[in-house]
Structure 1
Amino acid sequence: MATLSAVQGDITEQQVDAVVNAANSRMRGGGGVDGAIHRAGGPAVLADCIARFPHGLATGDAGWTTGGDLPAQWVVHTVGPNFAAGERDRALLVSCYRRSLEVADELGARSIAFPLISAGIYGWPLDDAIDAAIDTLARTVSGLDDIRVIAFSASTFARLHDRVAAG
């Protein structure tokens, strides 16, 4: 059974097999976590996105690329629903976490770090984003040993940590 933990820090610095990127559907980089992962991973991440996802990726789906210059070997890209643009089907958000775990299992990853998908610029309400992440990651069977949810800010980390501790 995997250990699920909350971590305050920078997802691009996590010493894990795979990091999850909250990508946009074009799969060409962007802002927030997506931009940070592309910057830290270097041009190899974008080149692999272009090769693997010439037509992008659907909301709720996931796929992988090299980790490039990241400490992680792989980046698992997933496209979260844009709450601010009216995409409010929670099942799509839950699918992001499930599909990311499936992709990590296919790769043989043992450790993975997730951001809070859709909780940034996509505007998903933070408490529900935390609940969707923790509930899904705790209940989905996978071969992973170490599942981390990363929060950059202290205030988000405190809320995330309390939710992980509550189970």
Structure 2
Amino acid sequence: MAEQLRIAFLVAQEGIEQVELTDPWQHVEKAGGVPRLLAPKLGSVQGFNHLTPADTFEVDVPFSEAVDTDYDALVLPGGVANADAVRLDADAVRIVQEHVAAGKPIAAICHAPWLLVEADVVRGKMLTSFPSLATDIRNAGGSWEDLEVQVCVMNGWTLVTSRTPDDLEAFNREALKAFGLG
């Protein structure tokens, strides 16, 4: 039996746009992957339906203990507060940089590309995101287009980005392909 692909979902302790966590998570599981929830610390994280608190989720591994070789790909869920907090975590930035250096795929939706900007990995890449990030992405050397999903393959590294929860169908489809699960 082939080894199952392990997909790390990086989130802050709160402010996660819940559907941008749960929908890709369910698609990874259904495709035979093993999703793992990574956050700044153990315990639970708080999902939100936009600004309304929703469910909580148990963290599998704190960022500080995450080792690149433990995961085959990353999913970066959005949520304004989530994305703003996670990009300030040095270990989250390290995880992204290690995945890019290893050529492992990353899928980021909504405000999550802020972490990619912070990790300085968007230069020369084509992305989409929630529209308010367009200037940040361009200032970091990336290109931005208002698309349902953008797949950028450069130097052996695949980046999948989408704008909002409305784009989850396309995001999940392209992320699973990039991860080798679709």
Whichever structure has more helix as a proportion of its residues is 1
Q: Report which structure shows greater RCO (CA 8 Å, sep ≥6).
A: 1
The two structures share one fold, judged by TM-score above 0.5: no
TM-score by length of 1: 0.38
Whichever structure has more strand as a proportion of its residues is 2
TM-score by length of 2: 0.36
